[in-house]
Amino acid sequence: MDVLGMIYNELIADPYIKEQASGRIKYYEYPETGNVTAPYIVIAPLDAPLPKDYADNQWLTYDCLFQIDVWSKNRILTETIADKIRDVMWKLNFAQSSGPKEYEDGIFRDARRYRGKLYREDFNNL
């Protein structure tokens, strides 16, 4: 199951996110402070997907935990993009939890964590 790819595809499908960060949505790759000339989004799993929700001795779902960071030089833009990401993740059944907000060297960072469950891809064949 390519959860990172699924999240990326959903983020880039949002017109606002695509307009603001197209080409700068990365997995695991955090930008150097001096390279943040436009908004960056970083998707990072915080844990391996865990089997959850059992029935008839079979696990049915993956419990996933991700952190999605938004980096930019504009505080309002950073928060607006992070809010749009929250809306996209909600549609994917991921709930937001806390994460760090930072400001350093002229860069605003809003990092939010998302936990959600996804059904197995082979669910109908169990």
Q: Report pLDDT for 124.
A: 66
Q: Indicate the pTM of the whole model.
A: 0.87
pLDDT digits (tens, 9 = 90+) for 90-111: 999 999 998 899 998 899 999 9
**CATH fold of 3-125:** STM4215-like (3.30.2000)
Q: Report pLDDT for 126.
A: 63
Question: What DSSP letter does each residue of 13-45 carry, written as one string?
Answer: HSHHHHHHHTT-EEES-PPPGGG-SS-EEEEEE
Q: What secondary structure letter does DSSP report for 122?
A: T
Tokens 């990365």 belong to 26
Q: Indicate left, alpha or beta for 53 from its phi (over 0: left) and psi (-120 to 50: alpha).
A: left
- 16 closest CA partner among 78, 109, 81: 81
- Domain residue spans in the chain? 3-125
Helix (H) or strand (E) holding 70: strand 58-72
